[in-house]
Structure 1
């Protein structure tokens, strides 16, 4: 498609078609075309937008897959404050709430709307002329983070509304962003395979996803959204229930579990119904929200300083059960951490049958004074993962046996170690402990690391058990082992072709994800991104000392020591060379960000506390852009401690002991060049770099630069 007008018409046609198909699928469960046909249309639109980026629409369906990188989330003020609700766990309190409403309305008739309280992240969305223009988190209720690019990846959320009767031109939607339980379970299963700490509940998982800087990663988290309120500058509807019906008519997702109740008895009936029924839903809920339906009556009742008088949240008490602790199993993770898991007599709890519960570490076993054979109390509540909260000491049998924590690795027999200041015992046998070796392979092929198609955790684990792979570098030798692969059950020619193609494709995965995939202890996804951005390639990183690495923004001393130790090991250096030979990306492509000036060159800073004008991350970027370095620890080599509000007293005391200057945010900013000075200094830096590059290439051509 060569001419721009034709491309523009096709982009508009595809955009409208895909919006319609998304609406039919996510709002009405109607699939008008096959997934393959949908993907073909989306791919065509992506191709046209790449060829003609100026024609791409802000709310294009391609935004669903993400790809926007947001280094900082700006904040925005809410037009309507996002107040929190008062909570109660008692039916008596609900009746008292009803009495206050009755009194406040002076005996006038009223009704309530009851809604399930989704356990997610409160979000405010703005629609203008039917287009989604902004998504803002609750924040402090007055201001929140603008996360529009991340919100656009939520597939159940329409980016473009179909015109409906009485649809306001400009309005806000309040609702809850959440992670469905099946997605949460899948994510935690992946984390468990990778030896990572499990997420406690879907709410934390959703909150963490919305803070990711890469919207493509947000899209992979498969978040969902339910709207529960519509706000307009003027009174557009007579009741809250009419607003919910309008939201549905506009095409926004509204949970169909809400109900209009004529009395407090109807409310209590709704509460009782969902007490058990809620566990059948694919979403975590922790209570019921009760609101006076009539909006004029809401105005009449008004607000307290913190919450509305016309609404209240009833929270269900934490689900608990009593069962017997039969055994403690010890799992060895990717980093060698030995984690105890309680094996229980199966017991129904919160809609599931619980057989296992996390014990975290030996400290918890000691704190609870757990013994084998004890009757223990297990809770879920807001924590989806069952946990033991106590022991029924009165029912402790005489045969109860104290739990003896192993002194040797349950997998390889190596004596366990417990590093100072850490809660976990660890197996130090990194090269010979099979669960560690296997978990590192599973981590390398996982979605957030190399994400190798056709080689998931189960398959690579099977290959490990069969002796086909031992290290991540062995993965790149699998193509040469095709004769062995074709003899394996459940692995046909097509599967092998897909696997080999996936391995080949993994060679294009960016350096930061490769670094994360290596499984270096403490180097998670974010730290890997920071290290890759700072050093640009694996050779520079391997040449760095622990002290050098600790100076990288947001990389602490413990992380730095662990990374430097791992990179210094001969076996790991050999592994990196094998990956290099295989063609894996071990360097970032493109030009590194250019410094604004060298005003802070040679100076190191520690930031502590909360700052007024900038966030801590913004100050870190300012310092590094002017040539300074950030470190996480205070030593006699430190140049400045930048102190904000609520700075830790220990850091202040340590800085005073080393006679490190303590400066304020304003004093730091005064050290930076003005806007005009920065322009001049940037030009000087560019000229110097250009001259240096030219001089290196051919000294005789220097004069041609001026």
Structure 2
């Protein structure tokens, strides 16, 4: 019997609320109130009503968890708040050093911390607009990630609508993971069907979340814990004052928070927490790889700020690495994109830290000599930081006399050119300017996800293109034709079109990532962003002097000399000219050109609590208009913005004569700057 639309709307709203409540009780609190059969009955009623009136289906309906049609790919998301990584501590002494830094930076005698288990999963950010989940994204490189909203909606512990009355805009950070039991079940199923097994639960979670078909993700039984409130946007409310309060708020909204998170009154209590879970980690149903320690005061967190890579107020304590015994079967050498000749030990495969390891880097000739590693040796292998396989020592008492010493090559094993080790350096480098191994590794780096992100252009295809002499440098990728690609092994029309589309799409890659893609020594992704922002175009960058480089924060002698050396090489100049001709972004986009923004060159320091804007929103507004938020007051500070209960920064600003703005004056300054920018854009 068909009900009226008005009646259906009321019934759907009631069923939606009831089912979401039962999902929360079952998946988050583990306290079900009804049987599975009763839940299925309610769910069936909702499905039937929504089928009658599909226009009444909402984004927060439980029926939207099952996953829709498979997509063609993932869109790139620019994170409103960067998802920074954490600095690591590998010992209790380093935790003590962290505590001393916090005391020095904050002036607090006894800072409190929150200690949380570091879940070994995939970091995600969820955005809720008016309480409804509108976007879910992976961390990616911290600045940009992939939108995986449809897949995250299939994770039962993630609420489609927040409980209570949340602010208009909320962004939270958490970790999606796979339980050990579900991981083992998944691998058994894959083994039975002849599919490749996942190495560990983290890889399984990452692979499951990045499925183009949400139905596959839904079948993988992912879970999640949430631990950071990144954005809170509500007039007159600055949100929680402490990390402990933030976790409580997340729980009240229906997000799953790890129940082991603990408020610690001192670093000694933090160390006790770390010792406990180091011993009990194997009893947990999920993998952890350490403890995250956070300063409890969110105001103090904001005031001491971040470095380019990590917040100063947080640290990850990494558990001591696991160790196993294995054998060195052979030693080979690899040649990297910068010419570094790196020895690599091929090992008898061994299980360690949740994955199978069959090789380990030997770094350089000095490392081999210091450890006295020989081919055939029995060695102790460690996964340092639970990530990188590392040979700790040789078990010399197990030597048989048949072991062979390794002779470091005097010529490049790939091109035959001489190798050279600069005085004071540990790395030996190939001197062959046209070394195929260097070129291949360079193009692999150029096409990688963090650089130009040319999807589908992997090492095997790059090898074919080089072997067939279709490319001689990365710029040649942009001259490839459909007919050329069809001549490659296993290339059909569809794969050729897909690759050409990916190459064409990469032309829109922002300037900072193009700069990173160039593979300049010492210039990683973070430094590329800093250089792009400071010099704004490739021409300005390559013509800069050493003094101009050293004037930029965080740029030292090594980076300055490396970029200047790169700029002086004719082959690099030719490559950049070809990339320009191909249409790559060799300057900041006009909207990002700081010189065109009204607050360019102005530094702001915030202190105290703001009534209208959150601290992060205020800092974002400053950046958007070209200004720079600072963490400490100096003679170079242009403005100190003083909210309620300002701290020592207010007094220092008075002492130094720095202009102090109250919140109303700050808002007026922002509005005037924004209006000026709009007028300039209209004039253009």
**TM, length-normalised to structure 2:** 0.52
- Give the conservation status (yes or no) of the 8 Å contact 1:59–1:132: yes
Measured after TM superposition, the shift of residue 400 of structure 1 is: 9.2
1:628-676, Cα deviation, whole Å (9 max, x unpaired) = xxxxxxxxxxxxxxxxxxxxxxxxx9xxxxxxx9973589xxxxxxxxx
Aligned residue number for residue 209 of structure 1: 208
Secondary structure of the residue aligned to 1:198 is coil
Name the structure 2 match of 1:86. Answer: 87
Shift of residue 73, structure 1, vs aligned partner: 2.5
Does residue 189 in structure 1 map to residue 84 in structure 2? no
- 1:260 paired with 2:263, answer yes
Matched, 1:136 2:137: yes
Shift of 1:104: 1.2
Q: Structure 2: how far apart are the matches of 1:22 and 1:553? A: 54
Deviates more, 1:389-398 or 1:289-298: 389-398
Matched, 1:235 2:130: no
In the alignment, what sits opposite 1:150? 151
For residue 27 of structure 1, what is the aligned residue in structure 2? 28
CA offsets per residue over residues 91-116 of structure 1, 9 Å max, x none? Answer: 22221111111111224442111111
Deviation at 1:392, TM superposition (A): 4.1
Alignment of 1:623-702 (within 5 A): 664=582
Runs of 5+ unmatched residues, structure 1: 326-339, 362-366, 403-525, 528-549, 565-599, 616-652, 654-660, 668-706
Judged with a 3 Å threshold, the aligned counterparts in structure 2 of structure 1 residues 392 and 357 are, in CA distance, closer, same or farther, namely farther
SS in 2 for 1:175: strand
What is the CA-CA distance between 1:197 and the residue it aligns to? 3.3
Q: Which residue of 2 aligns with 1:122?
A: 123
Query: Which of 312, 316, 320 matches 1:317?
Result: 320
* Cα distance in 1 between the residues matched to 2:21 and 2:508: 44
- Alpha-carbon distance between aligned partners in 2 of 1:112 and 1:553, rounded to the nearest angstrom: 60
Partner Cα separation in structure 1 for residue 177 and residue 323 of structure 2: 24
- Across the two proteins, how many residue pairs are aligned to each other? 414
Instruction: Provide closer, same or farther for how the CA distance between residues 8 and 95 of structure 1 changes in structure 2, counting only shifts above 3 A.
Output: same
C-alpha separation in 2, matches of 1:34 and 1:370: 61
**8 Å CA contact retained: 2:112, 2:265:** yes
2:298 corresponds to 1:295: yes
Q: Distance in 1 between matches of 2:356 and 2:499?
A: 45
Taking a change above 3 Å as real, the CA distance of residues 102 and 187 of structure 1, as seen in their structure-2 partners, is same
Does structure 1 retain, via aligned residues, the 8 Å contact 2:326–2:348?
A: no
CA distance in 1, matches of 2:57, 2:358: 51
Cα 1:360–1:84, aligned 2, differ >3 Å: closer, same or farther?
Answer: closer
By relative contact order (CA 8 Å, sep 6+), the higher-ranking structure is 2
Alignment of 1:461-476 (within 5 A): none
In structure 2, what is the equivalent of residue 632 of structure 1?
A: none
d(CA) in 1 for partners of 2:347 and 2:487? 30
Partner of 1:64: 65
Alpha-carbon shift at residue 125 of structure 1 (Å): 1.1
Larger Rg over CA atoms: 1
The Cα shift of 1:199 comes to: 2.2
1:324·1:375 contact (CA, 8 Å) conserved in 2? yes
Q: CA deviation at 1:151?
A: 0.9
Local SS of the residue matching 1:192: helix
CA deviations 1:463-518 (Å, max 9, x no partner) are xxxxxxxxxxxxxxxxxxxxxxxxxxxxxxxxxxxxxxxxxxxxxxxxxxxxxxxx
Q: Shift of residue 252 of structure 1?
A: 1.0
- The gaps in structure 2 that reach 5 residues or longer are 329-345, 361-367, 405-455, 458-480, 511-570, 572-578, 586-684
Q: Per-residue deviation at 1:285?
A: 0.9
User: 1:117 offset after TM fit, Å?
Assistant: 0.9
For residues 123 and 4 of structure 1, the distance between their equivalents in structure 2, rounded to whole angstroms, comes to: 38
Q: Is the contact between residue 376 and residue 392 of structure 1 (CA under 8 Å) also seen in structure 2? A: yes
CA 1:381/1:65 → structure 2, altered by over 3 Å: closer, same or farther?
farther
Kept in 2: contact 1:359–1:388 (CA 8 A): no
Secondary structure of the residue that 1:611 maps to in structure 2?
A: helix
Q: Distance in 2 between matches of 1:603 and 1:278?
A: 44
Normalising by structure 1, we get a TM-score of: 0.51
CA 1:157–1:318: 2 relative to 1, 3 Å: same
Q: Answer yes or no: is the 8 Å Cα contact 1:69–1:213 preserved in 2.
A: yes
Distance 1:103 1:552, change over 3 A: farther
- Say whether the 8 Å CA contact 2:507–2:584 is kept in structure 1: no
1:265 Cα deviation (Å)? 1.2
Structure 1, residues 165-199: CA drift from partner, whole Å, max 9, x if none? xx434221111111112222222233333444332
| 1:283 is aligned to 2:283 | no
1:5 aligns with 2:9: no
Matches of 1:27 and 1:554, distance apart in 2: 50
Which residue pairs with 1:170 in the alignment?
A: 169
One of 494, 506, 520 as aligned partner of 1:611 = 506
Instruction: State the shift of 1:609 in Å.
Output: 8.8
- Mapped to 2, the partners of 1:192 and 1:603 lie a distance apart of 31
- Rounded Cα–Cα distance in structure 2 between residues aligned with 1:23 and 1:211: 25
